[in-house]
Structure 1
Amino acid sequence: MARDPRFDGRFFVAISTTGIFCRPICPSPLAKESHVQYFALAAQALNAGYRPCLRCRPESAPDSWAWRGTQTTVARAQHLIEQGALVTQSLPQLAERLGVSDRYLRMLFQQQIGMSPKQYSLYHQLMFAKSLLHNSALSVTQIGLASGFHSTRRFNDAFKKQLHLSPSQVRREAPDRLTDNQVLLHYRGQLNWRYTLDFLAKRAVDGLEKVTEHSYARYCQIEQASAWFEVTPLKPGTLVMQFRVTYAHHLPILIRLVRQRFDLDCDTDVIEAHLNQVAPGLVQHTGLRIPGAGSLWEAGVRAILGQQVTVKSAVTQLNRLVAELSHERERQFPTPQQVIDSDLSCLKMPTSRRETLKRLAEWVVTHGESEPSAWIAIKGIGPWTVHYAQLRGAGDPNCYLEGDLLVKKRSQQFPSLNRQSVAPWGSYATFHLWSLS
C-alpha cells in the first residue's frame, strides 16, 4: 500500500483476479487483500501461473531472479549512471570502473532492463528534466544543463523525440514565488517539521549545519565539489529547497541526497496506521520520518562518538572533530582518509574509541560504504552502532533499535511491541518511542 521504493525487489504481489504479478511500487490500482498473494521471488509467481505486469516489469526489479549472479554489477552501474557517470565519461570508462567490458555491460542491461546503458541514462535525464520543469523556475537552458545535456538544442531534440512535447509545452508556467535557485520537493503523508528540526538541531555541527525556527541548511560535497542547500516548508506536502552547486549536473544528486535526508519518499499515513494497530497510543506525534545523516560513513562516525554517552556529549566531540579536520569558512564533514591521517588528539574520549573510529575509516577506505552489517567484524563496533548506521545512514525502514536503552525503557508501555510486530516499519517505531518524552 505504501509503494515504498525501499522494498522494491524484496517481494512480489500477485492478483488472482487478473492473473498478474507486480513489484510493490507498481502504480496500478490496489487490489482487495482477499485477491492478493505474496511471493519472495518472481520465479515463484511465474511457477504459480501468474504473468508479469507490463507496467512495472517485475523482471527489472532489484534482486529479482533476472538479476541473480550479476546483481552487483548492474546495481552499481545504475547507481553511477543516476549520479551522472555517462554525462561526465564514456561507456567504456564506466565499464572499466565496474571491472567489465562495455560490450558485456550493454548485454547485461539489455537482458535485465531491456535497454542499453545510454538509453537508461537518457531516460533518467529526461525524467529529471520533466520534474524540474514542473517544480522549479529554472530556465529551459538551466534545466538542460542540470539534467546532463551539454547544449539546449540537444536537450530540446531529445525531449521532443522521446516525450513528443517540447520543454516549453510541458512547462507552460513556472511555479509561483520561486527564484531560479529553488526547487519544490513533494512528499506523501504528513511531515512533522517541528520534530525534524528539533532532532537535527540537537545534533547539528557548528559551521556545517544551520537550524533556524523554520529551516535547515547544510554544506556538503558532491564528487569533491562543494554544494549547499536550505530547506523550508511551503505548504502541506511540499518543501522548498534553495541550493548552490559547483556544477549544474550535480543538482539531481543533491536533490536525491536531500530527499533521503528528510525521508520524503515514504508515506507516513500508511506507516502510522500499521503502528497504531500494533501498539495503540504509540503514535502521539504524527508525521515522524527518519532524519538522515548524509551518508553511511557520517552515521557510523556519529554512532561511535555516541557510544555510552549523551547526545550532547557526542555532539561536542563531533564539533571538535569537524573543527580540527575542516576549513573554518566552509566546513565539510571529514573524510575517512582525513581521520586516518589524524592522531585524533582533539577528541576527549577513551583511546579505545578513537581507535575504533580509525578502524572504521580504514574499513571504508578499503571496502567503500558497504552494508553496515559487515562492520560488526570491526573491533569496538557492536549491534547498536551498526543499527544506528543502518537507521540514519542507509534509511533502512525496518531497523528497530531494541537494544537502545531509551527504546527498552519506553517499549515497556506497549507489551505487543517487538521486532516482528512492527515490521516492516521498525525504524519508525524507534523514532516514535524516542519521541515519547
Structure 2
Amino acid sequence: MRGANPHLAGMDMDFEACRRAFLTRDPRFDGRIFGAVRTTGIYCRPICPARTPKAENMTFFLTAAACQEAGYRPCLRCRPESSPDLGAWRGTSNTVSRALALIEGGALDAGDVDALASRLGVGERQLRRLFRQHLGASPVAVAQTRRVLLAKQLIQETLLPMGEVALASGFGSVRRFNETFQQLFGRPPGTLRRSHAEEASAAAGGITVRLPYRAPYDWAAMIGFLGARAIPGVEQVSPRRYARTLSVDGALGLVSVSPGPGDFLVAEIRFPKVQALPAVIARIRRVFDLTADPALIGDHLSQDPALAPLVAARPGLRAPGAWDGFELAVRAILGQQITVTAARGLAAKLVEAYGARLDDPFAASLGLIRAFPTPERLVGQDIAALGMPKARGAALEALARTVAADPAIFTPRADLESAVAALKALPGVGEWTAQYIALRELREPDAFPQADIGLLRGMADETGVRPTPAELLVRAEAWRPWRAYAAQHLWAADADQLSKTTTVSRTAEAKRIKTDADNQRAA
C-alpha cells in the first residue's frame, strides 16, 4: 500500500502545516501526526532528530496504526512507541474512544471486530468506517500496532527474553512474534535490543516501562487525589510515588508509578505472569489519564469565565481513573453519606477481612500485603458486620453477586446514557454513583455527577448561594464534551478552599488557646 497517496492519509490534515511541524520539530504535534517517507519505508514523529526528507517523499498520517497498515515501519531513532498516545478523537467520535479503550484492554486478543462492535451497540461496518475516518486504520491494525510498539519498547527498555516479550506484548505465539518483526523490520526482534538496556531494565523481579503523556501534567494533584483515598495494605502513596497491589486474571502483583525526568511516568511492574503486562499497562494509563490532551480540553473549558481561572491555575489537571470497576463501585457505595476518610476506613476493614494476601517480600516492605477482594469473595458474606448500616452491607453483597455473574458489566457501552442506565440497575447505585463510575472506570469524558456537593460548592455565586443540581446541569451544557474535566477542576478548587478554611480555623483556634494561656499566666 506504500505510496498510494503522495501527500495526506488522514481527514482534516493540511500538508504544509504538517510539513512545517516536522521542519521545526514542533513538540506540540508529537502524537498528533506521523510522517512517513516513501523512499525509506519508515515513519517518524515530528520531533525526530533525523534530517527532514524532501516534501515530495513524505506522507502524513493521523496515527501510528495508519502508518503501519500502509506498510511503513517505525523509526529506530525517534521511537514512535514513545510518543504520547493522544485521545484527540474524543469528542469527535466517542464510539472510537470507547472501542480503543476496549482494544487496549485486550478485546481483540480473544474476540473479533464483530463482537467488539456489538459491545458498542454499532454494526461492524460502521465501526470500521469510524476507525477509517478518525484514525486512518482498521480496528485490527490498531490492535496489531499496539502489540508491535509495546514489544519494541520492551525489547529496547528491558532485558526480558524474547519469548517473554512476545507473551508480554500480547502475541499469541513466539513464531507469530518473530514473523511480524521480520516482516516489519526486515530483521529478527533480538537485533533491536540496545546495548544499554541493562541500565533501563527494572529492579530484580520486575519490569520498568516509560509511559509518555502530553505535557503539562499535574502530578501533585493526581497523587493528592489518590493519596486521600488510599487503602492501607493495598495502596501506599508518597509525594513521588504511588504503589499498590493489583489482581489480573487471578494473578496478584504490584505496580509502582512515579514521575520521570521527562514527559513520561515510570512504571515498575512485578507480576508472576508476563501475559498480564498489557492489561496492567492499560490500567496504569487509565488511572493516570495518560491519553488526555490538556491543551485541547483547557481551551474549551476556559471559554467559561468561572472555569477559566481554575484551568489557568491547574493547566495539567487530569481526571483520575480507577483500577477496577468493582473496586470503584464498592468504594463509591461505602462513601455514600460519609466522608472520604470514613469510607477509606471501611474499605480497609473490608480488605483486611476478605482481601487475598500477597506473598511478596518486596511488596511487604512497602506495607502492601493484600489485594482488594474479588466479587466472588464477598458473595454470601455479612459485610454489615464490619461496621456499617445493614442496608449498605446488603447492597454490597448484592453488588458482588451481580458482578460475579456478569464480569463485563463495567465495560464501555454505546453511549454515556446507556452506560449510566446499566450502572443504575446495580444494587446500591444511584445517579451520582453511576456518573462517578462512568467518569473514573468507563473513562467517559462527559460524565458529570451534577448533584455532587463539591461541584455545587464550587459553582456558588459571590454571595455563597449554590446552584441546584438541575441549574448546574444546564450550566454544564457549555462544557460538553469535557464535563468530567470540568468536574475535576471544581473538585480540586473545592478541596483547596476546604484546606484553606481548615487552616484558618486551626490558626484561629491556636491563637485563642494561646490567648487563654497568656491570660491565665497574667492572672
Residues 182 and 233 of structure 1: is their aligned pair in 2 closer, same or farther, counting only changes over 3 Å? same
Match of 2:219 among 186, 193, 199: 193
Instruction: Determine if contact 2:106/2:279 at 8 Å carries over to the other structure.
Output: no
CA contact (8 A) 2:155 2:165 kept: yes
Mapping of residues 148-163 of structure 1, within 5 Å? 148-149=170-171, 155-163=177-185
The Cα shift of 1:117 comes to 10
Q: What is the alpha-carbon distance in structure 2 between the residues aligned to residue 116 and residue 188 of structure 1? A: 25
1:143 partner SS: helix
**Partner of residue 339, structure 1:** 378
Q: Is residue 2:432 matched to residue 1:384? A: yes
The alignment status of 1:360 with 2:399, answered yes or no, reads: yes
CA positional deviation for 1:422: 1.1
Question: Could you tell me the TM-score, scaled by structure 2's length?
Answer: 0.61
1:139-172 Cα shifts (integer Å, max 9, x gaps):
5454234224577666333301134344355444
Q: Does the CA-based 8 Å contact 1:109-1:116 persist in structure 2? A: no
Tell me, in whole angstroms, the C-alpha distance in 2 between the residues paired with 1:276 and 1:109: 34
Aligned to 2:351: 322
Shift of 1:230: 0.4
Structure 2 matches for 1:100-111, cutoff 5 A?
Answer: none
Q: Summarize the Cα distance change of 1:243–1:75 in structure 2 as closer, same or farther, 3 Å threshold.
A: closer
Which residue is equivalent to 1:48?
none
Please say if residues 158 and 198 of structure 2, whose CA atoms lie closer than 8 Å, have aligned partners that are also in contact: no
1:309 alignment partner AA? I
Within the alignment, does 1:257 sit opposite 2:283 as a pair?
yes
- Give the distance between the partners of 1:81 and 1:377, measured in 2 at CA: 26
Aligned twin of 2:409: 369
Q: Residue 159 of structure 1 contacts residue 166 of structure 1 at CA under 8 Å; is this kept in 2?
A: yes
Cα distance in 2 between the residues matched to 1:393 and 1:148: 23
Quickly say closer, same or farther: Cα 1:245–1:108, change in 2 above 3 A: farther
Partner of residue 485, structure 2: 428
Give TM-score scaled by structure 1 length: 0.72
Which position in structure 1 is the counterpart of 2:229? 203
Question: 1:413, 1:303 → 2: CA distance?
Answer: 28
What's the offset of the Cα at 1:352?
1.4
Alignment of 1:19-30 (within 5 A): 27=33
Report what 2:459 is aligned to.
Answer: 411
Q: Give how far 1:261 is off.
A: 1.0
Measure how far apart 1:28 and its partner are: 7.3
Question: Residues 56-92 of structure 1, C-alpha deviation per residue, up to 9 Å, x if partnerless?
Answer: 799x999x99x9xxxx9x999957755754xxxxxxx
Cα 1:123–1:433 shift into 2, 3 Å = closer
SS in structure 2 at match of 1:291: coil
Aligned to 2:43: none
Answering whether residue 211 of structure 2 is matched by residue 182 of structure 1, we say no
Q: Secondary structure at the match of 1:184?
A: strand
Contact 1:295–1:394 under 8 Å retained in 2: no
CA contact (8 A) 2:356 2:372 kept: no
CA contact (8 A) 1:84 1:148 kept: yes
Aligned residue type for 1:195: A
1:108-127 equivalences under 5 Å are 123-127=145-149
Deviation at 1:355, TM superposition (A): 1.8
Q: Any idea what the Cα deviations from partners look like across 1:264-309, whole Å, max 9, x if unmatched?
A: 0111122122222223212222311122221221111111111111
Measure how far apart 1:344 and its partner are: 0.7
Q: How is 1:81-92 mapped onto 2 (pairs within 5 angstroms)?
A: 81=106, 84-85=109-110
1:232 is paired with a residue whose SS is: strand
Q: Pick closer, same or farther for the CA change 1:174–1:238 going to 2, 3 Å.
A: farther
Query: Aligned partner of 2:387: which letter?
Result: K
Taking only aligned residues, the RMSD between alpha carbons, in angstroms, comes to: 4.2
- SS of match in other structure, 1:235: coil
What is the CA-CA distance between 1:176 and the residue it aligns to?
Answer: 8.3
Q: Is the 8 A contact 2:287 2:320 kept in 1?
A: yes
Q: CA deviation at 1:419?
A: 2.2
Distance 1:431 1:80, change over 3 A: closer
Q: For 1:406 and 1:151, how far apart are their aligned partners in 2?
A: 50
Aligned to 2:243: 217
Q: Which moved more, 1:286-295 or 1:156-165?
A: 156-165
d(CA) in 1 for partners of 2:139, 2:224: 42
Does the residue aligned with 1:205 lie in a helix, a strand or coil?
coil
Alpha carbons of structure 1 residues 270 and 111: separation in structure 2 relative to 1, 3 Å: closer
Give, as a single letter, the amino acid of the residue that structure 2 aligns with 1:350.
P
Q: Distance in 1 between matches of 2:430 and 2:127?
A: 42
Gaps of 5+ in 1: 1-12, 19-24, 30-52, 86-93, 100-106
Match in the other structure for 1:89 = none
Q: Find the counterpart in structure 2 of residue 312 from structure 1.
A: 341
Instruction: Give the letter aligned to residue 312 of structure 1.
Output: T
Residue 281 of structure 1 aligns with which residue?
309
* Aligned residue identity for 1:126: V
Larger radius of gyration: 2
Indicate the residue corresponding to 1:396 in structure 2.
444
* Residue 223 (structure 1) shift: 0.8
**Contact 2:384-2:394 at 8 Å conserved across structures:** no
Query: Which whole-Å CA distance do the structure 1 matches of 2:107 and 2:331 have between them?
Result: 27
The alpha-carbon distance between structure 1 residues 197 and 75, as it changes in their structure 2 partners (threshold 3 A), is closer
Amino acid at match of 1:164: G
- For residue 425 of structure 2, what is the amino acid of its counterpart? A
- Cα separation, 2, equivalents of 1:28 and 1:298: 38
Q: Distance in 1 between matches of 2:128 and 2:230?
A: 46
- 1:293 maps to a residue whose letter is A
Work out the CA distance in 2 between the residues paired with 1:305 and 1:228: 25
